Structure 1
Amino acid sequence: MIGKILGTIFGSMFGGIPGAVLGFMVGHFFDKGYRQDFNQKGGFSRFFSTEEALKSQAIFFHCLFSVMGHIAKADGKVSDSEIRMASTLMDQMKLEGEMRVEAQQAFRDGKAASFPLKQTVKDFKESCHGRRDIMQVYLEILIQSAYVDGKLDKAEQVILETVAQYLGFPQRDLLYLLSAFEAELRFRQGGGQQRTGGHSGAYSSQQSLADAYKILGVTTSDDDKSIKKAYRKLMSEHHPDKLVSKGLPKQALEMAKNKAQDIQAAYELIKEKRGFR
């Protein structure tokens, strides 16, 4: 649409009515080519209303579900749990109708031996202008998908390391995200019960506190000021309004909200044990 509008305006400026007609035609072909280019990114483009949203969010979804499919196939076979995980994620993102079909196709595309992992991740990085917080949420969703069967296979970790490298994340940052997610899993399952005086098997209050520190990426030797700083930084990185304004699709916000809740709960536990405000 934007091509036809601009073409008509500039055409009329330099050629009157005939110029406007010619400009409209040229703009039409520009728009057509523009749409086709993004349709090749997974077909999600037609579900967004603006050109910027079309470019970044269509690529986000295609890159997310296709790389998820690639990770699922890393060990040679896509398990039922991995398929259910992809479906559950689509449910959480409220992907329905044609949009869900596109997500399913992207997942299948990622399973192909010829899947262009590097180019796909490069397209995503360019589409979000290298914004680290958006790329980090993307990585966190991939990590969650890789752990769907309760463990991380070596082949899956290699792919995650490759994706992180293409996105510009040092290995130490990926290792922190992996460690933090493992801590979050334990914390969700047992930490809340420990804090309220319940029992959760072998998961002790000491382990719950240790996982809280891992979630924030700090240690027991860090002072209160450092812990507060780490907490504020993580909450800022996962603030829903900020993420949407930077291009994260609203459908992916639920994942960021869950992460923010874990960060908040971990911080509250540490505050309680340390006795600071």
Structure 2
Amino acid sequence: MQVWGKILGAFFGFLLGGPFGLLLGLFLGHKFDKVRSNIYGGGFGGFTSGGNQADRQAAFFHAAFAVMGHVAKAKGRVTAEEIRVASAIMDRMGLQGESRRQAQDAFREGKEEDFPLEDVLVRVRQASAGRSDLLQFFLEVQIQAAFADGTLHPSERQLLHVIARMLGFSERQLEQRLQMQEAAFRFQQGGFHQQYQQQGGFRQAPTRDQLADAYKVLGVSAEATAQELKRAYRKQMNEHHPDKLAAKGLPPEMMELAKQKTQELQAAYDLIRKEKGFK
């Protein structure tokens, strides 16, 4: 329940106008709280019990970029680098026109000092009840954004732990995702993902570190057997398959990220198979 508007309105109203000012401040504060409730409460981005699929998808999209803006603010003021990172993610999604404007507006909302992070995350979790893959995708988007500049600031890590906990993930699960994303960043920087996409295969042998990152992308150790590798690959592909995520409510604007993730998993899996001689 939003009450801060009424409290602050009544306080400053009394200071400025005595009892009459208190009543006026209380009234204006109530109006303010009602507006905030519509934005961040029951009607935030369509997270309502009666909302249709399109409303819920729009809500998920808005919340993802708003929380992303909040993560960007974790290190202090949002710098040009954080804005560049957000723009790069929008580019990866292929966002243009109205969709891009909505993402930018949501990102700016998340940077506000009074952004109700916990309220938003509670509603994301409630709206995605029974769809853990969708919640995992939401968390991974935040991790990707935090890692997009190649480093993870301690304050970003701390905030990601808060986000993960609010979404129902343990510390161990988050740390595993962080390790996987860090490896994915290096894997992408190494050019193997792009080479695989452009040439349909690998034209050069990977280094030991690149092969190790490929294992981490799939969430398995370098000692994994062929069967363990295949099981991990299938599990990851099942969790990130665009069609399955779409059926669970992933916004169409975010589908490109899911496709890129499956391509990354495929590239890592094929690289390991080729190097180890697995079938």
Identify whether the pair has TM-score above 0.5, normalized to the shorter chain: yes
Residues 1:89 and 2:96 are matched in the alignment: no
Q: Higher relative contact order at CA 8 Å, sep ≥6: structure 1 or structure 2?
A: 2
Instruction: State the one-letter code of the partner of 2:208.
Output: Q
**Percent of aligned positions that are identical:** 45
3-state SS, counterpart of residue 118 of structure 2: helix
**1:56–1:128: 8 Å Cα contact kept in structure 2?**
no
Q: Which moved more, 1:89-98 or 1:168-177?
A: 89-98
Match of 2:214 among 198, 212, 215: 212
3-state SS, counterpart of residue 112 of structure 2: coil
**2:143–2:160: 8 Å Cα contact kept in structure 1?**
yes
Q: Which runs of 5+ in 1 are unaligned?
A: 1-35, 199-203
> What residue is the counterpart of 2:238 in the other structure?
236
| In structure 1, C-alpha distance between the alignment counterparts of 2:185 and 2:276, rounded to whole Å | 23
TM-score (norm 1): 0.76
**1:38–1:55: 8 Å Cα contact kept in structure 2?**
no
TM superposition shift of 1:217: 0.9
Residues 1:164 and 2:164 are matched in the alignment: yes
| In structure 2, C-alpha distance between the alignment counterparts of 1:188 and 1:97, rounded to whole Å | 28
> What residue is the counterpart of 2:134 in the other structure?
134
| In structure 2, C-alpha distance between the alignment counterparts of 1:43 and 1:97, rounded to whole Å | 22
| In structure 2, C-alpha distance between the alignment counterparts of 1:176 and 1:244, rounded to whole Å | 25
TM-score (norm 2): 0.76
> What residue is the counterpart of 1:251 in the other structure?
253
**1:85–1:148: 8 Å Cα contact kept in structure 2?**
yes
| In structure 2, C-alpha distance between the alignment counterparts of 1:212 and 1:95, rounded to whole Å | 29
Q: 1:196 to 1:221 in 2, by over 3 A?
A: same
| In structure 2, C-alpha distance between the alignment counterparts of 1:41 and 1:273, rounded to whole Å | 52
Q: 1:58 to 1:38 in 2, by over 3 A?
A: farther
**1:43–1:102: 8 Å Cα contact kept in structure 2?**
no
TM superposition shift of 1:103: 2.4
Q: Which runs of 5+ in 2 are unaligned?
A: 1-36, 197-201
3-state SS, counterpart of residue 73 of structure 1: helix
| In structure 1, C-alpha distance between the alignment counterparts of 2:84 and 2:236, rounded to whole Å | 29
TM superposition shift of 1:60: 0.7
| In structure 2, C-alpha distance between the alignment counterparts of 1:197 and 1:216, rounded to whole Å | 21
| In structure 2, C-alpha distance between the alignment counterparts of 1:44 and 1:101, rounded to whole Å | 15
| In structure 2, C-alpha distance between the alignment counterparts of 1:43 and 1:227, rounded to whole Å | 41
3-state SS, counterpart of residue 263 of structure 1: helix
Q: 1:79 to 1:142 in 2, by over 3 A?
A: same
Q: 1:212 to 1:237 in 2, by over 3 A?
A: same
- Give deviations 1:201-246, integer Å, cap 9, x for gaps: xxx6111111111111111222211111000000111111111001
Residues 1:197 and 2:204 are matched in the alignment: yes
> What residue is the counterpart of 1:263 in the other structure?
265
TM-align CA RMSD: 2.5
**1:42–1:59: 8 Å Cα contact kept in structure 2?**
no
